[in-house]
Amino acid sequence: SFLGLPVVTVPLRTANGQPIGLQLIAAPFNEQACLRAARALEEMGITDARPVEIAA
């Protein structure tokens, strides 16, 4: 990040299908905390990285 903190962004969807990103930020030099949290969300099936459909 700009501040030098470890950051990871996890793709999610709102209830109506809109894509959003959840940004996880950890303490300095604690990259593993960000990665563990992102992986836990992924394993719970919360993440959603499908492409957004655009109406023609």
pLDDT digits (tens, 9 = 90+) for 11-56: 998 888 888 999 999 999 999 999 999 999 999 988 888 777 777 7
Establish if 13 belongs to a structural domain. Answer: yes
Establish if 21 belongs to a structural domain. Answer: yes
Establish if 10 belongs to a structural domain. Answer: yes
Residue 19: the pLDDT is 85
Establish if 8 belongs to a structural domain. Answer: yes
Q: 29-38: which pairs have CB atoms within 8 A and are 24 or more residues apart? A: 30/6, 31/6, 33/6, 34/6, 34/7, 34/8, 35/8, 37/8, 38/8, 38/10
Residue 34: the pLDDT is 93
State how many domains the chain has.
1
Establish if 38 belongs to a structural domain. Answer: no
